[in-house]
Amino acid sequence: MRKSFVVGALSASVLLSGCQAVNTTSAGAVGVERQQYMFSMLSTDQVNQMYAQSYQQTLGEASSKGVLDKTSTDARRVRAIADRLIAQTPKFRPDAAQWQWEVNLIKSDELNANCGPGGKIFFYSGLIDKLKLSDDEIAAVMGHEIAHALREHGREAMSKAYGIEMAKTGAGALLGLGQSSMALADTVVQYSLTLPNSRSNENEADLIGLELAARAGYNPNAAITLWNKMTAVSGGSQPEFMSTHPASASRIEALEAAIPKVMPLYEQARKS
């Protein structure tokens, strides 16, 4: 038992030694201040470039299948809402103004949306059609996704993956561990360092997305109606969006608690 504990501690120490502490965004009115640990050899630009290549490939495939929608009313809605949200991103990180933002609507029954590293946005028509989303609710979804990109949660997850592999290799080589002990070390590191952050990431995206939408003039209360709709549809087969963004009573409670912090921003935006 003692040896297993030492393996876990050494693995964590190897992981952290290859990382640097950063805070990718300002705290905002919602107060997101968690320091993040990024693998020092994995830069923001590298991750953005890797995702941009993947994004272009997906765009090409969607176009060849005839499901890339650039002309419909919903496509125009999505782009207009995204433009307003993107205009507010420098409030959280000034360099986002220089990102090569892209926004595209995919014709699909999927209930899904995504904003990848560097500001590459996909929105799926199924999310709008099946949930009958208002503009405010579209802004709630998109603000949440943009927040993931601003906080570089993708790079953070990649950093952890790199770190875990380094930790396994480094600790194994150092102690001459067998396969079962290495599996235990992997489990310890993943549980103690990965799982809590994934929960934190969702909370951060909720809060920053809420503020982005409010600053852009979209009613922050739409985040509550959105998640209530998501919860209702998850009674059957779980939509993809729900598999990575699970709704819960505690999540809705956290959003409700944060709404008073951003409501003045919404009211100011509506006046202007």
Let me know the angle formed at the C-alpha of 252 by 250 and 253, rounded to the nearest 5 degrees: 60
Cβ atoms within 10 Å, residue 211: 25
- Chain-centroid distance of CA 85 in Å reads 15
Question: Among 146, 257, 269, which Cα is nearest to 219's?
Answer: 269
The residue annotated as part of the active site, out of 145, 152, 202, 211, is: 145
| Residue 202 bears catalytic tag | no
CB distance 34 to 196 below 8 Å:
no
Structure tokens at 109: 């029954």
d(CA 195, CA 203): 13
| Distance set, CA 17 to CA 20, 38, 41, 44, 163 (Å) | 8, 10, 12, 19, 9
Residues annotated catalytic, as ranges: 145
